[in-house]
C-alpha cells in the first residue's frame, strides 16, 4: 500500500494506473474508519480496478465551536483496515494541502444553507471545496460516498454534474449496528445512556418510512408519525426531522407536494454529540 502526501505525487500514481488501463476508485474520508467506511471501500473495489482512500481531517468544514481538534485520529488502525480491504494507495495530505494565501471556494449557492448547512454555516463550502481538491489530486474514475451524509452526497452530486468532473459518483447505503444506530465516527463520544436514547432516531425514521405509499404525497403525515416516535424519548436538541426533495433540496413539510422520491432527514444532539441520520423514500440515487 503506497502513501502519498502531496497532490502531484498522488495524481502521478493515478494517471499511471489509468495509463495501464486500470479504473481508479476513490473513497474520501476523514479517517477514524469503521464498518461504514469499509463498506464504501468494498463498493469502490467492486466498481474499479484499484482503490484510493484519502484520510484528511479537513479544517475548513468545521465551525469555530465544533470538534476539529478532538475529531478522532486513529492512523494505525485506519492503515490496517485499509490494507484488509484491498486499498492500494492512501492520500494523506499534510497541512500545506491549503497553500499560504488560499482563498478559493467551490460553493453550491442556496443548497449549502439548507437544514444541515443552516445549522453549520460554511460547512458545505468547506466540503465541496475540499472534495474538489481531492478529486483533482486523485483524479478518480469512480468516487463512493455514504448515504449517511445524504445532504453532502446531494451537494457533491450537483457539483459533479454542474462542473463536469467526469467521474461516476456512487452513493452507498448507510451501515447500522444491529440495534439500528447508524455508524458514525462520532458515536464513540456517546455515553451508554445517550447511545441507548439515540436509537429513537432510526425508530422514528422507520415509523415514517412505513407510512410511505410510493410517493411523497403526504409529507406532513409522514413527518408527524416520525416526530411522534421521537417525542417518546426526544434528543436534548432536535435540529430537524423532515423531508427533502433530492432534486431541488426543497424542504417538503406541507401536504399536496407530489415529489417522488424524497429523503427523510434527522439531526439531534445527545449531550455534546450531534448525530444525523436519514432514510430514502424511492430511488434517490
Ligand atoms: O464525509 C466526510 O468524511 C467528509 O465530509 C469528506 C467528504 C471526506 C470531506 O472532508
Per-domain boundaries in the chain: 2-172, 185-279
pLDDT, position 120: 97
What residue owns the CA closest to ligand 1's atom 1? 29
What pLDDT score does 259 carry? 63
Q: Over pLDDT 70: what percentage of the chain? A: 98
* Residue with CA nearest ligand 1 atom 6: 29
User: Does the 185-279 domain belong in CATH 3.30.1300.10?
Assistant: yes
Query: Going by CA atoms, what residue is nearest to atom 4 of ligand 1?
Result: 29
Give the mean pLDDT of 152-165: 98
Q: Is the pLDDT of residue 213 over 90?
A: no
Residue 131, ligand 1, Cβ within 6 A = yes
| Span from the CA of 130 to the centroid of ligand 1 (angstroms) | 8
Same fold, 2-172 and 185-279: no
Ligand 1 atom closest to the Cα of residue 61 is: 10
Decide whether any atom of ligand 1 lies within 6 Å of the 31 Cβ: no
- Cis peptide upstream of residue 260 (ω within 30 degrees of 0): no
CA atoms of 190 and 270, how far apart (whole Å): 7
What was the pLDDT predicted at 108?
Answer: 98
Q: At residue 87, does pLDDT exceed 70? A: yes
Q: How far apart are the first and last CA of the chain?
A: 31
> What pLDDT digit, counting tens, does each position of 27-75 carry?
999 999 999 999 999 999 999 999 999 999 999 999 999 999 999 999 9
Contact 29, 54 (CB under 8 A): yes
User: What's the CATH class of domain 2-172?
Assistant: alpha beta
pLDDT given for residue 257 in this prediction: 61
Average pLDDT in the 112-133 region?
A: 97
Q: For the chain, what is the mean pLDDT? A: 95
5, 34, 37, 85: the active-site residue: 37
- 214 CA from centroid of ligand 1 (Å): 31
* Cβ atoms 112, 128 nearer than 8 A: yes
Residues 223-273 pLDDT 10s: 999 999 999 999 999 999 999 999 999 999 877 666 678 999 999 999 999
Claim: this prediction has a pTM higher than 0.95: yes
37 assigned to active site: yes
Q: For residue 224, which of 239, 197, 204 has the smallest C-alpha distance?
A: 204
Amino acid at each position: 500500500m503506497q502513501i502519498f502526501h502531496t497532490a502531484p505525487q498522488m495524481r502521478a500514481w493515478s494517471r499511471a494506473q489509468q495509463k495501464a488501463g486500470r479504473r481508479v476508485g476513490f473513497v474520501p474520508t476523514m479517517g477514524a474508519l469503521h464498518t461504514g467506511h469499509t463498506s464504501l471501500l468494498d463498493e469502490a473495489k467492486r466498481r474499479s480496478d484499484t482503490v484510493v482512500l484519502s484520510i484528511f481531517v479537513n479544517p475548513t468544514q468545521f465551525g469555530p465551536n465544533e470538534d476539529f481538534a478532538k475529531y478522532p485520529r486513529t492512523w494505525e488502525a485506519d492503515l490496517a483496515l485499509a490494507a484488509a480491504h484491498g486499498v492500494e494507495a492512501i492520500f494523506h495530505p499534510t497541512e500545506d494541502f491549503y497553500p499560504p494565501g488560499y482563498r478559493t471556494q467551490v460553493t453550491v449557492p442556496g443548497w449549502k444553507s439548507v437544514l444541515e448547512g443552516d445549522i453549520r454555516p460554511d460547512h458545505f463550502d468547506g466540503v465541496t471545496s475540499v472534495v474538489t481538491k481531492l478529486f483533482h489530486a486523485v483524479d478518480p474514475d469512480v468516487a463512493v460516498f455514504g448515504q449517511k451524509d445524504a445532504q453532502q452526497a446531494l451537494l457533491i452530486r450537483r457539483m459533479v454534474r454542474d462542473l463536469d468532473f467526469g467521474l461516476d459518483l456512487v452513493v452507498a447505503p448507510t451501515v447500522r449496528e444491529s440495534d439500528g444506530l447508524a455508524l458514525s465516527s462520532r458515536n464513540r463520544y456517546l455515553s451508554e445512556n445517550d447511545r441507548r436514547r439515540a436509537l429513537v432516531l432510526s425508530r422514528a425514521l422507520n415509523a415514517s418510512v412505513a407510512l410511505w405509499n410510493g410517493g411523497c404525497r403526504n409529507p406532513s403525515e409522514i413527518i408527524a408519525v416520525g416526530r411522534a416516535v421521537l417525542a417518546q424519548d426526544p434528543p436534548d436538541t432536535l435540529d430537524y426531522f423532515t423531508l427533502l426533495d433530492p432534486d431541488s433540496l426543497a424542504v417538503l413539510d406541507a401536504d399536496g407536494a407530489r415529489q417522488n422520491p424524497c429523503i427523510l432527514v434527522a439531526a439531534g444532539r445527545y449531550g455534546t454529540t450531534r448525530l444525523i441520520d436519514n432514510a430514502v423514500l424511492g430511488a434517490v440515487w
